Amino acid sequence: MIDSVLPHSWNPAILLIIGGLLVPLIPLQIRKAYMVALPILAALHLATIPMGNYGEMEFFGFTLTNMRLDGLSRIVAIVFLLATTLNVIYAWYVNDTVQQVASIVYPASALGGVLSGDFITLFVFWELAAVSSVFLIWASRTERAYKAGMRYIIIQVGSGVLLLAGLILYALETGSIEFTLMKLESLPVLLIFLAFGIKSAFPLLHNWVQDSYPESTVSGTIVLSIFTTKLAVYSLARGFAGTEQLIYIGATMTLFPIFFAVIEDNLRKVLTYSINNQVGFM
């Protein structure tokens, strides 16, 4: 195991968010190298942390778990950090500070959601990912991008509102906010499931992907295509593994985008239908 100078309780996602917010202060000559180094250092720190729960604290009688590291969260976290590194390299030519900050803070927020051990912590990172990602759409600086970004943020925040309502009712019903396996047998769990479904772009809840992603910048579209829906897929794997309804939802998601992708002449929209298709397989 690699030794780290940082305490194990330091969440790599929070370190990455702080590092991303500092990007505008870094001299242009070394900024891109700094951005590549951020996810690499976060991954090295992650590699030093043993399996377990970290950063636990009491909040109105509930236990918040800032970081839960187990087999599922570790492998997804590694993939997210690898993708963040590759995205920075791919966007090496970009000199837009807004995009540079968002391309670090947004993946870091998704990473924080993956490492969350409770619903409140998940909610915080869930909404932070929504807010930080919209700047990749607005970075195009066109009227279409602005309007698409507004629709995107409304839908994403709406997903968070459903998650918040579900977790409050779930806490009142069960006395727990632990983010763990659930069954679709109550209203609170259904609300949480719908929140995950919106972010996963379930059929009939998917149009925000085709509406917003193509309006982003070229490199921004690539970043957006990776983290939002995959955070939701992870959340479904964590909370609803074995849920029978996901078989039918996933099968539908793999089939319906194929027709639209074939008749679409906008290559960016073809990419978004491919996202729907691949998330269906996931």
Kindly report, residue by residue over 178-189, the tens digit of the pLDDT: 998 899 889 999
Nearest to 46 by CA among 96, 94, 108, 89: 108
Residue 2 pLDDT grade (very low, low, confident, very high; cuts 50, 70, 90) = very low
Find out whether 275 and 201 touch, Cβ atoms under 8 Å: yes
- Residue 131: burial class (beta carbons within 10 Å; 0-12, 13-18, 19+): middle
- Quickly state the pLDDT bin for 6 (edges 50, 70, 90): low
pLDDT at 160: 94
Element (H, E) at 126: helix 119-138
Q: What are the residues facing 62 on neighbouring strands?
A: 59
CB atoms within 10 A of CB 8: 16
How many CA atoms are closer than 13 Å to the CA of 159, on its beta-carbon side?
32
Q: What tens digit of pLDDT does each residue of 109-137 get? A: 999 999 999 999 999 999 999 999 999 99
Q: Which residue has the higher pLDDT, 265 or 33?
A: 33
- Compute the distance between CA of residue 220 and CA of residue 240 in angstroms, rounded to an integer: 30
d(CA 244, CA 238): 15
pTM above 0.95, yes or no: no
**Residue 220: predicted pLDDT:** 86
Are the CB atoms for 81 and 75 separated by under 8 Å? Answer: no
Predicted pLDDT at 279: 84
